[in-house]
Amino acid sequence: MSTGQEQVRHAIAEQAGAWFVANQSSSLDDAARAAFIAWLKASPIHVEEYLGVALLARDLPAASDDPTFSIESLVEDARSADDDKITYLQRPEAMPGQAAWRWPAARWQPIAAMAAAVVFAVTAVVWRSSESRLQGTVAGYETAHGEQGTWRLTDGSELRLNTDSSVSVRYSNQERLVELTRGQAHFHVARDSFRRFRVMAGKVETIATGTQFDVYRRADAVLVTVTEGQVAVIGQRKQRIDAGYQLRVDADGVAAVAVPVDVNQTLAWLKHRIAFDLRPLGEVADEFNRYGSLPLLIPDPALRALQISGVFDAGDTNSFVAFIETLEGIRVERTPTAIRVLRVTDEV
């Protein structure tokens, strides 16, 4: 082993010791527990060093303090697993001045299986401990008119809310349930083999395990847009939606066919922008009304159907109105309570 490798291995061993002490002292909060699990999963060497610390402390049975959770059964499962599913580990080299310690070849596979089982047990116990505190509790997140917000959820998922939006989050043994009561939310879901990630928006369910998607609850419909991976959308029937597609489900749960969309335009709000390419003027005005203080009113249906293209800052209604004024046959009337978009021939 090179000097550089020895230094890295020594640093990992120190980290393993620190994590072991922290776990024994029960000083880890939710964020620290998540960091510990992430550290274990980062490299088989991390697993090896942590197991080495636990073995030296004669604390292997204490990897799980749940009497209903059997490490022995996990070890048996690991031993019976296919060879290509077992992570083989090497013991650390002896410290200077000490004789090297090598496991007999016949015992190598059971020890590797034990290591995998212990890591699984530690993960499960930390997860169960966290769940026992979270079950029955509801966390709420919301934004006001014109605001946006970003939060890291307890399970590691990222939640982003668009303007005037609200969600509640509840955890159970089977799932992570999010209810979108109003507005628009984007989810970057942390993978969790124990629990699915389900979003309820009225009569529409969206289910994912580890992906990125957007749910927009409007008065007339729910729009589900997938940016990465795949989700299942359930209204009156179930559909699977791939990345780059959007599904519209009406208020009664009736879904149209998923269509390909320009995700950069659809999710421009994540960059606080409104982007549109040949979209009806009325729809674009409605988007600006989600952010601005003065509503844009377009009473003429034909004018609302006029297709336009552009990209604007979501909060810059004035620039959008200035753009509208450049369109032929359109005039803009400003009052203290609204901005009216009219045809040139329309009377006040």
One DSSP character per residue, 57-117 reads TT-GGGG---TT--HHHHHHHHHTS-GGGS----PPPPPTTS------HHHHHHHHHHHHH
Contact 248, 215 (CB under 8 A): no
Structure confidence at residue 26 (pLDDT): 60
314 vs 268: CA distance, rounded Å: 9
Of the two residues 85 and 124, the one the predictor is more confident about is 124
CA dihedral 19, 23, 25, 26 (to 10 degrees): 130
Of the two residues 265 and 110, the one the predictor is more confident about is 265
Give φ, ψ of 318 to 5 degrees. -60, -40
Is residue 92 over pLDDT 90?
no
Structure confidence at residue 194 (pLDDT): 84
Can you tell me which residue has the tokens 């060093």? Answer: 49
241 vs 308: CA distance, rounded Å: 28
Structure confidence at residue 239 (pLDDT): 92
Counts of helices then strands in the chain (DSSP H, E): 9, 18
Can you tell me which residue has the tokens 């992430």? Answer: 38
Query: Residue 199 pairs with which residues in a beta bridge?
Result: 178, 206
Name the range with the highest mean pLDDT among 33-42, 123-132, 257-266: 257-266
250 vs 208: CA distance, rounded Å: 21
Is residue 130 over pLDDT 80?
no
Is residue 340 over pLDDT 80?
yes
CA dist list (Å): 322 to 124, 296, 314, 332: 58, 13, 14, 9
- Name the band, by pLDDT with cuts 50, 70 and 90, for residue 179: very high
What single letter denotes the amino acid at residue 113? A
H or E element that contains 121: helix 105-134
Round the average pLDDT of the chain to a whole number and report it.
Answer: 78
Extract the tokens encoding 288. 């600006």
Is residue 319 over pLDDT 70?
yes
300 vs 280: CA distance, rounded Å: 12
How confident is the model over 81-104, as a mean pLDDT? 40
